[in-house]
Amino acid sequence: MSIEIVQLFFQKCNNISVGKLLKGIGNSKEIKKFYDDWSNTYDLTLKEWGYIAPSHSTRILKKILTKKPKYLLDLACGTGLFVEKFKKIFPKCICDGTDISKEILEISNSKGLYRNLYQTSFENKINLKNRYDLVSLIGAMTYCSNHNLLFKLVNSYLIKGGLFIFTQRIDLWDKLKFEDTINNLGNFKKIYKSRPINYLPKNKDFGQNIKIRIVVLQKK
């Protein structure tokens, strides 16, 4: 399927502006509906757009982790693209995931990657029995409306010394003064920040214009 066909599909998604959604604009109902409608072509589209955040994030963790993680919580897990890469390196890690889209979660479930899947926004508190070595949020920080709340939630999910890996777009990094936000987190210390990386290099609108950083924080 060509990128042009996928873009035509996007234009029919209940008149939701793809550009606005990719910029993080839109309420949770709009985002949920958009990803429900996109679910059947989601993996194919991101492959054609050259989405490499999952593989980059996995390589970074392989270098950073001093021992194999036992439990991962994958926030906004989508169809499991990150965990697909992650499991190739850490096959015994038990993974749980969350996503706002029911249709997306059905695809994730069909891949057999996760122990438990929860349909909820990553900004909602999840009552979990487990505490995790690792929490991930790959490709979805764009939609976060309250970063301080998110970091508090992630802190509650992690064991002491656990890691939080996430991506953030460079344009939002600068606009939101994200460096200051990270530096002022009392419960975390920054242990890794990547150079700028192309987000969707084969997408004509993103291309070389939109880049991301991959960041790893450690719970104190």
CATH number at residue 153: 3.40.50.150
Q: Which domain holds residue 76?
A: 53-219
Predicted confidence band of residue 7 (pLDDT cuts 50, 70, 90): low
pLDDT tops 90 at residue 1: no
Query: Average pLDDT over the chain, rounded to whole?
Result: 88
The pLDDT, as a whole number, for residue 139 is 93
156 with 80, same domain: the answer is yes
11 with 78, same domain: the answer is no
Domain count, the chain: 2
16 with 103, same domain: the answer is no
169 with 207, same domain: the answer is yes
pTM attached to this predicted model: 0.90
Which of residues 180 and 203 earns the better pLDDT score?
180
170 with 65, same domain: the answer is yes
Residue 58 to residues 4, 54, 122, 196, 211, Cα–Cα distance (Å): 30, 6, 20, 16, 18
pLDDT in tens, 182-204: 999 999 999 999 999 999 888 87
38 with 59, same domain: the answer is no
110 with 18, same domain: the answer is no
Query: Quick one: which H or E segment has residue 19?
Result: helix 18-22
